[in-house]
């Protein structure tokens, strides 16, 4: 579950709670050519596992930039640190969730 999102130019930074809820991970997703580069530092990667943070952040990015073509995911093992110049934005919803909210508010 993504608790907050920020943008930095073309990049989306997602704040995702740790499994134990004792901390958070920052995951940066940005387009670079034909790739969607996902940068973050996660213990799961050390053990060769794919963590849920990548999937959640990519889904959120695709909801945010729904009109962009799908790109190949390229993971980068890098610590992301919150920056004061990033602009906080609402957590992007799926088109289905957005349409549902619009329909509910119209009735």
Tell me: the pLDDT tens digits for 16-53?
Answer: 998 888 999 999 999 999 999 999 998 877 777 778 89
* pLDDT above 80: residue 5: yes
CA–CA gap between residue 75 and residue 73 (Å, rounded): 6
Task: Give the Å distances, CA to CA, from 61 to 22, 23, 47, 51, 103.
Answer: 25, 22, 26, 16, 24
Q: What is the mean pLDDT of residues 86-92?
A: 88
Q: How confident is the model at residue 87 (pLDDT cuts 50, 70, 90)?
A: very high
Listed residue (3, 5, 4, 59) closest to 36, CA to CA: 59
Listed residue (56, 68, 66) closest to 99, CA to CA: 66
Q: How confident is the model at residue 102 (pLDDT cuts 50, 70, 90)?
A: low
Listed residue (12, 78, 81, 11) closest to 42, CA to CA: 78
Domain boundaries, the chain: 4-106
CA–CA gap between residue 67 and residue 62 (Å, rounded): 8
**Mean pLDDT, rounded, of the chain:** 88
Put simply, whether the predicted model's pTM sits higher than 0.75 gets the answer: yes
pLDDT of residue 101: 66
Cβ-contact 28, 38 below 8 angstroms: yes
């Amino acid at each position: 579950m993504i608790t907050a999102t920020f943008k930095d130019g073309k990049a989306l930074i997602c704040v995702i709670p740790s499994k134990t809820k004792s901390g958070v991970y920052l995951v940066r997703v940005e387009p670079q050519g034909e790739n969607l580069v996902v940068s973050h530092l996660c213990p799961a990667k050390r053990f060769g596992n794919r963590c849920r943070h990548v999937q959640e952040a990519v889904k959120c990015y695709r909801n945010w930039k729904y009109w962009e073509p799908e790109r190949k995911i390229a993971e980068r093992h890098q610590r992301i640190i919150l920056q004061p110049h990033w602009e906080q934005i609402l957590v992007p919803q799926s088109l289905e969730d957005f349409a549902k909210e619009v329909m509910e508010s119209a009735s």
